[in-house]
Amino acid sequence: MKVKILSIIVIVLLSIQTFYAQILKVDSLTSKVIWQGTMDIGGHNGTIAIKEGFIEMKKGKLVGGKIIIDMKGITIIDADGTENEKHIIKEISGNQFFNVGTYSTAKFEITENVAEMLTGNLTLNGITKPVKFKIITEKAEKKIIINSILFPIDLLKWGLNFNNWFKGKNLGNALSIQVHIETN
């Protein structure tokens, strides 16, 4: 009798878990945003650190989450030397562009995942706008790994304008980004 009751409890608990979302913490050491500028601005690329976040999984599918992006964690991968890297980071972190002094973090909140096409709200410089991009979700041992396909965002939607930064030049305002998320 005790074995039957215990078996029923285990089955019920396992069933409940499949109906509710599982919350997984984002690994801030291995997760990052990869960015790539257009050739108009020198074609630079780099990363931005993920400060913290979580994702929600339900029946093996990403259904929600929130990622806090550390705008102070901007790096340049392709700069010609340390001085050039410092100069570029200072420029894009300054008041004329990302204004990291005022907006030290950005945020992405997942609102929907339909056929691995992720929709969410991206907040940059205090402005929130929807974005949509394709993802690939993998499971590696106990980790969930989510990679987006490289996709452009129009920075004008967030009040960011390369033309303000590079005075007198007519530049495109798309920045391509790729998101790499790993759970703990």
Query: What is the Cα–Cα distance from 119 to 133, expressed in whole angstroms?
Result: 7
Query: What is the Cα–Cα distance from 92 to 114, expressed in whole angstroms?
Result: 34
Give residue-wise pLDDT tens across range 128-156: 999 999 999 999 988 999 999 999 988 88
What phi and psi values does residue 170 have, to the nearest 5 degrees? Answer: -95, 100
Give residue-wise pLDDT tens across range 54-70: 999 999 899 999 999 99
Q: Quick count: other Cβ atoms within 10 Å of Cβ 166?
A: 15
| pLDDT of res. 160 | 80
Bridge partner list, 105: 70
* Cα-only R_g, the chain: 20
Q: Which segment of 18-27, 87-96, 104-113, 162-171 scores lowest on mean pLDDT?
A: 162-171
Bigger pLDDT: 53 vs 3: 53
Q: How many residues make up the chain in this entry?
A: 184
- One-letter amino acid at 120 equals G
pTM: 0.81
Query: What is the Cα–Cα distance from 75 to 122, expressed in whole angstroms?
Result: 20
